[in-house]
Each structure stands twice: as C-alpha cells, then as structure tokens.
Amino acid sequence: MSVIGQPLDRTDGILKVTGQARYSADNTDAKLAHAVLITSTVAKGRIASIDTNRAPSMPGVLLVMTYQNAMRLPNNGVPDAQPPAVRKLTLLQTNEVRYSNEPVAVVIADTLEHAQGAARYVDIRYEGAMPNADYTRARATAYQPDKMMGRAITTQRGDVDAGLRQGPTRLDAVYTTPYEHHNPMEPHATVARWDGPNLTLYDATQGVSGAKSAVAKFFGIPDNNVRVICPFVGGGFGCKGSVWSHVVLAAMASKQTGRPVKLVLDRPQMFGMIGNRPFTEQRIKISARDDGTMTGMRHDVISTTSTFEDWTESSAIVTRMLYAVPNQATTHKLVKLDIGTPTFMRAPGETSGCFALETAMDEMAYQLRMDPLAFRIKNHAAMEPQEKKPWSEKSLLQCYQRGADKFGWANRSMQPRSMRDGNTLIGWGMATATYPANRSEASAVARILPDGTAMVASGTQDLGTGTYTVMTQVAADALGFPLDYVRFALGDSSLPKAPVSGGSQSAASVSPAVRAACTQARDQLISMALADKGSPLFGVPGDDVRVSNGWVVSVSNPDKRDPAAAIIARNGGRAIETFATTKPGAEKQQFAFHSFGAVFVEVHVDADLGIIRVPRIVGVYDVGTLLNEKTAHSQLMGGIVWGVGSALFEKTELDARYGRYTNANLAEYHVPVNADIGMLDISFIGEADPHINPDGARGIGEIGITGVAGAIGNAVYHATGVRVRDLPVTLDKVLA
C-alpha cells in the first residue's frame, strides 16, 4: 500500500515537542555577541544627532553601530535587483527616517542583557517632519504601479459598461480591509558569522536560497560566499519570505566586531520593518439578470504602500477567475504613505479580495432573492474566464454540494433575523475559497547508503507545514523503502536549490524533484542487482522486478529477493547517488491551475450586546492529491482559524497623526484563542490534478484562510440584517 496520503505523524514531531528542534535563535557560537536594534520614534525626517558617549563604555559593549560608523555597502546598500526578490532596506547608510519603528542603530555586546542595557543610553534626536500617514487625505494621490509580481495590473474582457447596463439588478459597494501584521510564534532572528570572505547565516527564513542570493547582493559578493541555514521555522506566513534589514545588519555587525552576532527582533519590532498586509479599499460593481446570470462586473482596488517601494495587494485577481462573467474589468492602484513596506501575508490579495468579492456575491443574491449558494452555482466558471483556458482539474461544484449537505444548508431560512434561539440570533453564511496552484523549478538529491537506508535532500523549508514528513513519504514511495529507512534533509542553501516556501508551492514543486531523484536511485539499485552474479535476481527480466520494503524483489517469484545493503556491499560499498531537477512544462501554458473550496459558517449573535460567536465551520476543499491527510487537515484548520481572526479580530491601529502603530504587541493585537473557535469540519474531494505534477498534489498552505471572512460576514448579515463591509466585523458595527 502506498504511503502517499496516509495520515502519518510528523517525522520531526518528537524533536519539536521535546525541545530538540533548533530554531535560528537557538544557535550559539564561540564568542557569540548579541545585538539589539534601536528603532525610530518618528515616522518622517532625519537623525539630527546621536549621543553615544555613554553606551560604548558600558560593561560588555563591543560596538554601537549607527549611520556614522556603519560599514559602507555597495551603492549605499541599494543593490541592483528588483523588489520583492530583494527589498529596499534600512542599513544605516544615511540619517534619513522613512517610517516609525525603522532601524536607526544597533548595539552589540557580549550578552543580551548588556546590549539591552546600553541601548537605553543611546540618545537619538530627530528633526521630524509631519508624516503623510492618513489614507483618507492621501487617497487623491492614488496611482497605477508599473507592475504587480508578474501579474497584469489591470484586466478587461468584453464590454464592461454595456454589461453593467444589461442586468436590471445592480450592486455598487465599497469594502475595506485593515492593516494586519504577522505574529508567528518565532519572531525574526538571525545569527551571522564571517569566516574570512564567507558568511554563514542562521536565519528564520522561508527561502534559504533566496536569502543567500539577496544578502550576497547587498554586500557585493558572490552567492557562493554566503550560506543560509534554517532547518526549522516557527511560523512564517509571508513575513519571512524576504530578507529584511535586521538580517543584513546582523551580518554587518559581525563583520565590524569580528565576532558571531545574534540579532532577534522583539515583539513590537515585528510591527513596521518586516512587512504587513496593507489597508485596502475595494469598489465592486455587479449587474445581473433576473435569473441570476451576471452580465457585468468591475473591481477597483486601492491599497497602501511605503514611500520608497511599490507593493501591490493584488486583491482583484480572485475576481478575474472565480465566476463566469462575460464583461469584466479589474484595476489596482497604490497610495504612498510614510509607513514600512507591506509584504506577502498568508494568501496576499486572495484574502482581502475574497472578502470583498464574496460579500458582494452575497449582497447580489439577496437583491435577486436567490439562495447565495444557488447564485454562485449559476455563475460557476466551467473554464478559466479571463484567459479561456481549461482547468487542470476543478471539483468546486462537488465542494458546494458536499459542504451544503454536511452543514444542512437546505434547512436555512432566507430572511435575515429569522433564525434565533431565545436572545441569540443565528446566522448561516457561505463563501467560495480559492488559491492558485503554483509550481516552480526545484532540485533534489537522493542517496541509497551502504547500510540500506536512504538520505534525500532539497534546499526547501518547513514552516511547520509538514514538509519533512510529506517529502519523506514521497521519497519512500518512489524508492520502495520503509518510512523509517528514509531521512529527508532541508533548510540549507548548500543543498539542491528549491523555491521559497510561499505561494503554497513547496509541496507541488519539491515533490516531483524528490520523486525523480528517488526513482533514478531505485532504478540504479535494480540495475545493479540484475547485473550482479551474486544476486538471486541475476538474469531476471527487468520488468519482473520491483523494490519493496527496501528489498529488490521478483514479482513472479517473491523468493528471489535481495536487500539493498547486500547489493551495494557486493558492488564496492559506495552509496548510490542521483540528482534531479524538475520544472513545469508546456502544461503551464495550456491549463489554468487553481485550488477551490466551499466554506459554510454558523454564527451566534447576542441580540442585545452584539457579541459574535462562531460555533461551527464546515469547509470542503479541492486541492488535488493529499500527500498526508493529517498535515493537510492541520494546514486547513490553521488557515480557517486565521480566517476567523481576519473576520472578527485582526486590525493594526495606525495613528495617522504620527504614523505610528498603537497596538504593536500581542496584548493589544487581537487574534483568536481556543475559546473563540468552535467545531471545524474539514474534508477533501481528493481528486488528483493530472497536470500539476506526477503525484497530482497541489499546495494547501493558503487556501484555508480565503473565503472565511466573507462567509462569517455573510452569516452575521443573515443573523442580524446588518451588512458590515469593513473588516473586522465587530460588535459596535453590528449594533450601529
């Protein structure tokens, strides 16, 4: 029986629960020094003076690094590379201040306590200017960026104006989503060490290969002079997908002190310098005939970015592909503010865009007096509507049906405020979930060792998603070895290159490379046995042989069998080693690759107080083959929980007067806790995608959050009759 899809425990689970897993900040080194960042208290201006007279003389202090004494970097620390592959960082090359909480100095000492103590005595004075941080005032300056991460900034199909006039039922509404910040359990952390011209970084990153390349560019050194190591990541969610200022600053501090340096961000420093989900304003227009057929749609997005780098929240990309609308246009614009640059945050664009689109779809269904599920089915896209490509595989209709059956959707009454239990208003809402099925080039190496076990490796990452486990399963399946005979290694830029663990692409990209390398190794083992006169399999036809449980076995005569260790021992005792690189082929141009899901939500709202509870959520997903049912369920569960946070809790409050986030800590930045989460019923269609890769498996890290906020907002409307178009949905908005 294949181990693919089996709900196996994590291969790294024991290391994690016993505290043996070493995260970036756990790395120590001889003469390790500790660095503490000092960040700006103004959002715009320049440093007028820095008084470092006292701090350098304090116990254990090695260096106070400022713009006055920091090592000079090529081109003032602005490498010749385009964001977001290489971001525009703050590396103490000038005295300019561009946003609040921006790095302005680094104190390095022999202990963390000495560095923290000295940092309090670095007196920085600013010549501040009034920051431009008010979106409402700056909205008139919105502009269209030049590019959007390889996607079209605007799209149009058909005659949009005519389409919007055709349908007698029309919607014109504006939706907003707030600033949100990542808060993984592990904050950003870097340990930097120079050995002559070579730099080693233990860095909390979602992409060891990308970090290696980016850091090399900042220092103007060859990529091969940098090695990035990250075997475990304590959550990433997008913020660890790029190299940020602290990484290069740690390396600069190490260079200038001549010692290994550890730099760990504290929790308030996670707000500002390592990206966030930007504020979005989204206007959606829809027109439909009386039977529910949509005739036209327009989705215009404005989002915020920094003054020094364009980052576009691609919220309208979902609208382009999700429903069969013949006449449609989408646009994206930016507003520059004196804040840090936004970045990827779990399902960037899809999360905010799904909320707006799925809320608008619900509003249209009510105007049409149609069931919201029936309205979506009516406009189901049988092929990708923008580029007119067939789907690689799509089982969304099955998701709708199974989800509705499991939830009991047929028992829902249409009228808002019509379902209640005493003083509790009950609402049922639903939404569609979707995320692209991405795949990139990846490489892997496989070795069958002399003891008959195997080591397989790729320079990918495990953010806690289960990469160690699922790649072990793929390798064992391809080799024909027991799981406990296979060890999978990752998290080191010296290993074969793999893409960033972002865009839900790791499983879909790395698994074919692992399978290809392991298949080659297995075939070499078989060939070795068939050519070996000392093997019971000598002379057996090749098509009659397979590898099972670590033995080469004759299919027709199972008594003829030979263990891998014995075969290798008789043939020189050297490991079998194979290498493979795989990448998408012509199918990438021939098909549209997406995953889909249906989310059904029940909410309870206190009729007097407006308190919202979510007792149950049902989600059904079409994500291709499951490589591991247990880790897949865990991924979807985590995504849904974050969707609840996005819907009801998460909002970073920006004081526009000072350009400062006022709830930049875990006490005031609200996220769901166990008491906020009810029953989660998660299931999968399980239909393999025949075009994505040999296993038919897509990534699932991000689809779980999409659709959830829309479904919850729609359920709140059904419960209360109050439509909230601005996230988060809080009790004051319900009672307003």
Which residues are designated catalytic? Answer: 702
Q: Nearest 5°: CA angle at 641, between 638 and 646?
A: 125
- Stated as kind and residue range, the H or E segment containing 217 is helix 208-219
3-state secondary structure 367-435: HHCCCHHHHHHHCECCCCCCCCCCECCCCHHHHHHHHHHHHCHHHCCCCCCCCEECCEEEEEEEEEEEE
From residue 185, how far is each of 79, 208, 234, 237 by CA, in Å? 31, 20, 6, 11
Label residue 7 exposed, middle or buried (CB < 10 Å: 0-12, 13-18, 19+).
exposed
Taking alpha carbons only, the member of 248, 219, 199 closest to residue 89 is 248
Report how far residue 405's alpha carbon sits from residue 400's, in angstroms, rounded to the nearest whole number.
9
The one-letter amino acid code at 606 reads D
Residue 269, classed as helix, strand or coil, is helix
Question: Tokens representing 566?
Answer: 């014995």
Taking alpha carbons only, the member of 301, 275, 272 closest to residue 139 is 301
For the CA atoms of 688, 638, 433, 438, the dihedral, rounded to the nearest 10 degrees, stands at: -50
Angle between helical axes of 245-257 and 208-219 (0-180°, round to 10): 60
3-state secondary structure 39-84: ECCCCCEEEEEEECCCHHHCCCEEEEECCCCCCCCHHHHCCCCCCC
**DSSP per position, 357-368:** HHHHHHHHHHHH
Taking alpha carbons only, the member of 144, 700, 287, 216 closest to residue 463 is 700
Q: What is the DSSP letter of 214?
A: H
Helices (H) and strands (E) counted in the chain, each on its own, are 17, 29
Q: How far is CA 668 from the centre of its chain?
A: 24
